[in-house]
Amino acid sequence: MRSLLSVSAYILLLVVLISSGARALSLPFSNSSSSSNGHYGPAHGAVATEVKECSQIGVEIMKEGGNAVDAIIASTLCIGVVAAYHSGIGGGGFMIVRFNQPDGAHAYEMIDFRETMPALGNETMYNDSPDPTASTVGGLSVGVPGELRGWETLHQRHGKLPWKRLFEPAIGVARDGFVVNVDLAGQLNAEVYPFLLSDPLWAEVYAPNGTLLEEGDTCYRKRYAETLQKLADNGADAFYTGDIADNIVDAAAARGGIISQEDLEGYEVVIRTPNNITYRNSRIFSTVAPSSGSVVLSVLKIFEGYPGNVTDTDPEVNVTLHRLIQATKFGYGQRTNYGDPAFTTNVTELEKFYLEESTVEQIRALISDNTTHTAAFYDPSNYTILTDHGTSHVATMDSDGMAVSLTTTVNLIWGSQVMTEDGIILNDEMDDFSSPGQTNSFGFPASPINFISPGKRPQSSISSSIAEDLSTGQLLMATGAAGGSRIITATLQNLHYHLDLGLDAKEAVAHGRYHEQLGVSTLTEDARPDIGVPGINNGTVGFLKSIGYNITPTFDIGSVGHIIVRREDCEFDAANDPRRPAGGVGVF
């Protein structure tokens, strides 16, 4: 079997290697609408993204001597070209980085490049607006983008190849065109985005002949290519000052926005210390507030008190999933407290409190094996659990033990639906804030911790994570997910299925999932054998119903994850989520 895997790895190598002469486009885009979502490969490097061609770009960067950081910048810039409906330089996000210190030891840091509220924002700005879509569509929904400052910070701290080189593949893809894949075609033809045809800037890209592009057509983003070239030549400052910044301000203002040149010039990345836990035989690191990695860690720490290596055919599988869901409910109950640390007191201390063994034991003692409870039992504050939106996750690893797990977003599909003259799609991240007077389906009010304030970062479900062996410190896996508020449950299940059950990357990311965020019902994923998703066992679903769960089965669990595993033989095992058919991985 090993020899077959090695042959497959070398075949993949032949597919992903690109001639050094094709410097701009870097590789031809395939017209295929699907690809294998898992690959083994030798111990050089691995990349997993939602667009297989972008994964291959990351591999090529590492082949040239770049590291995991260089690869993730180049790959994610490509994602911003091809999958612009939910990521790009008009957005922001979070990443966790495992890097090498001068003494050879590994260390971790989190880079927070989340968007911020413009200086003219206030907590009732959306309540006062006559437009009910003001927080999701148009200029008032636009936050100060952090993406370019995030890349700049990452590259300055850990990159190897020149900044300009990392932009070349994405510039070529945007300028020379790419084939519309099945995922992009689905967003273009969703019949809910009329601006794609009516707005000249959007139509120039996605309906150049008067009709929307379809799968297999070639898409060109020439304005965006010129913008990326300026940023490659002049650095991130060219985004936050000068003509590009002026065009951002003008485009937002034309649609009622309040972002200013001063907001852009003043944007700053924040370097944070990730939280970590011991979990069975591993140590897991994840992002901190205002993201939700600490929620993932808390859930796993609670669940650690139960047997975890329970397979789908084990008689204990029913109660095991119930326990994991109960732990998840308590985790989501904590999440309302995790606002921007610059505006919320004692957030860091509270995150650590919920990870202390004594706290974990007290929470675990509240879990009964034969019942579930209403939302107030898990969240005594009775504040609304924020439902946020779409994202893109990317993971990379290299042979030196460096790894990056990153999630980036423009929030809702197509962000604010505002495009600048430079082809930049602006985020609508300000919808992730809460406003006074909001309530959820239970009548619970919005949490003041997430109310709007100038310069503040809104809460996020992003929970990018990296695990290492507890005894040796060897890198084990990097994972994360896209999918708004379902990122948390997807990420923790990726970790559980690999670390507890020993599933390989492909099996773990494809495993049937649940989602629970103290809502009206618990979602359980139905089987989708056409794409290799087994779903949650019907017997388990029946058991959950019998002890009081309100279950909603679904074929669309709404989250997409990626996993890269470094195996004991030091080969890489990488997998993208089969729920996004255009995705793919690259290993070499």
Which residues are documented as binding site for L-glutamate? 114, 409-411, 432, 460-461, 484
Q: Please report the beta strands in 181-337, taking only residues with DSSP state E, as ranges in sequence order.
A: 218-219, 270-272, 275-279, 282-286
Q: Please report the beta strands in 24-117, taking only residues with DSSP state E, as ranges in sequence order.
A: 38-41, 45-49, 92-100, 106-113
Task: Supply 48's token pair.
Answer: 């997993």
What one-letter code names the amino acid at 232?
A
3-state class (DSSP) for residue 28? coil
| Pairwise CA distance, residues 551 & 20, whole Å | 53
DSSP for 450-514, written as a single string: GB--TTPPPP-----EEEEETTT--EEEEEEEESGGGHHHHHHHHHHHHHTT---HHHHHHS--E
| Pairwise CA distance, residues 40 & 505, whole Å | 9
3-state class (DSSP) for residue 565? strand
- Residue 459's alpha-carbon distances to 87, 308, 450, 584, in angstroms, are 18, 30, 6, 29
Task: Supply 220's token pair.
Answer: 């060109």
| Pairwise CA distance, residues 582 & 578, whole Å | 9
Contact assessment for residue 328 and residue 492, using Cβ atoms and an 8 Å cutoff: yes
Kindly list the catalytic residues. Answer: 391
Burial of 430 (0-12, 13-18, 19+ CB in 10 A): buried
Binding residues: 114, 409-411, 432, 460-461, 484
The alpha carbon of 238 is separated from its chain's Cα centroid by a whole number of angstroms, namely 26
| Pairwise CA distance, residues 320 & 499, whole Å | 15
Q: Tell how strand 106-113 and strand 270-272 pair up.
A: antiparallel
